[in-house]
Amino acid sequence: MDIAGYRKTVLTTTDRVRIILMLYEGASNHLKIAMKKIENRDILSKGTHISKATLIVTELSNVLDMEKGGEISRNLRSLYDYVLRQLLYANLNNDIAALGDAEKVISTLRDGWKEMMANMKSRQPAHAGS
Q: At residue 34, does pLDDT exceed 50? A: yes
Q: How far apart are CA 57 and CA 125, in angstroms?
A: 34
Residue 74 lies in a domain: yes
The CATH number that applies at residue 51 is 1.20.120.340
Residue 36 lies in a domain: yes
Q: At residue 5, does pLDDT exceed 80? A: no
Taking residues 8-35, what's their average pLDDT?
84
Residue 127 lies in a domain: no
pLDDT at 10: 47
Residue 93 lies in a domain: yes
Residue 128 lies in a domain: no
Q: Which domain holds residue 50?
A: 3-122
Over residues 62-95, the pLDDT tens digits come to 999 999 999 999 999 999 999 999 999 999 999 9
CB atoms within 10 A of CB 98: 22
Residue 80 lies in a domain: yes
Residue 78 lies in a domain: yes
Distance linking the first and last C-alpha atoms of the chain: 21
- pTM as predicted: 0.82
pLDDT at 121: 74
Using a CB cutoff of 8 Å and minimum separation of 24, what contacts does 108-114 make? Answer: 109/24, 109/76, 109/79, 110/21, 110/24, 110/25, 110/28, 113/17, 113/20, 113/21, 113/24, 114/21
Of the chain, the percentage scoring pLDDT greater than 90 comes to 70
Q: How far apart are CA 99 and CA 31, in angstroms?
A: 6
Amino acid at 68: K
Residue 130 lies in a domain: no
Domain total in the chain: 1
pLDDT averaged over every residue in the chain: 87
Residue 100: in which H helix or E strand, if any?
Answer: helix 96-123
Q: How far apart are CA 102 and CA 27, in angstroms?
A: 10
